[in-house]
Amino acid sequence: NAGVTQTPKFRVLKTGQSMTLLCAQDMNHEYMYWYRQDPGMGLRLIHYSVGEGTTAKGEVPDGYNVSRLKKQNFLLGLESAAPSQTSVYFCASSSTLSYNEQFFGPGTRLTVL
Amino acid sequence: GENVEQHPSTLSVQEGDSAVIKCTYSDSASNYFPWYKQELGKRPQLIIDIRSNVGEKKDQRIAVTLNKTAKHFSLHITETQPEDSAVYFCAAMNSGGYQKVTFGTGTKLQVIP
């Protein structure tokens, strides 16, 4: 099993450009999450999904959109990138509603100039 | 919503000494408390967790304690080794309804050989 994978690993954008980050998991997990990690801020939840076709806002959703058309994939979109979105983005998945480990992807380092 | 505070932000110990990281949470409904370890440039990985019906849990050199009344929990690492050097994140979750995990801001542990 590959676990949780993310593409791309690195990306540099100019302000105003758009892009999509892809997260894929092969563990048949129901829940998927997108976090951003900034120095001194820990992991902050952007959006999450409790199943195929469903998404919801997390702690810092502004400027991002998500889609979960297939159970194994969770996409994070930036419609008009801003320097404040420079961060490391982690995707994670977990299998049930309660008491379960979150499995993280390797991360995507995004720089917005 | 839940607020998780983590202290200290950095911690240096001599190899063989013990390290203690403390977290407090605000939501009395939180009932699951995982700890994640993130090595430099890698993804966070679960190292130990505790549920609210247990006061202490131990796994070899690491242990976690929980005080529900005071709403705080701690990670204890004994006989530290250089490979323990990493950033450690505590988290709190309410397993009822939506499984929302709130992370602390992280502790950078340095074990000096």
What are B80-89's pLDDT values in tens digits? 999 999 999 9
Question: Using the beta-carbon criterion (under 8 Å), do A43 and B51 form an inter-chain contact?
Answer: no
Each residue's pLDDT tens digit, B46-77: 999 998 888 999 999 999 999 999 999 999 99
> Which stretches of chain B sit within 8 Å of chain A by CB?
1, 6, 9, 32, 34, 42-46, 49, 51, 89, 95-96, 98-106
Beta strands in chain B (DSSP E): 4-7, 10-14, 19-25, 32-38, 45-51, 56-59, 62-67, 72-77, 86-94, 100-103, 107-112
Query: How high does pLDDT run on average in chain A?
Result: 93
Whether B96 has a pLDDT exceeding 80, the answer reads: no
pLDDT of residue A99: 61
Whether B98 has a pLDDT exceeding 70, the answer reads: no
pLDDT of residue A95: 84
Question: Is residue A101 within 8 Å of A1, Cβ to Cβ?
Answer: no
Query: Collapsing DSSP states into helix, strand and coil, what is residue A53?
Result: coil
Question: Using the beta-carbon criterion (under 8 Å), do A99 and B100 form an inter-chain contact?
Answer: no
pLDDT of residue B53: 85
Which residue of A6, A100, A109 is the best one to mutate when testing the B interface, meaning the one whose CB has the most B CBs within 10 A? Answer: A100
Each residue's pLDDT tens digit, A59-75: 899 999 999 999 999 99
Of A8, A6, A14, residue with least CA distance to A32: A6
Across A54-58, B10-14, B48-52, which has the greatest mean pLDDT? B10-14
Confidence band, pLDDT 50/70/90 cuts, at residue A40: confident
The CA distance from B106 to B21, in Å, is: 9
On chain A, the residues whose CB falls within 8 A of the CB of B103 are 42-44
> Which chain A residues in 58-87 lie under 8 Å from chain B, judged by CB atoms?
58-59
Question: Is residue B38 within 8 Å of B14, Cβ to Cβ?
Answer: no
Q: What are phi and psi of B82, to 5 degrees?
A: -55, -30
Of B86, B91, B21, residue with least CA distance to A44: B91
Q: What are phi and psi of B98, to 5 degrees?
A: -70, 140
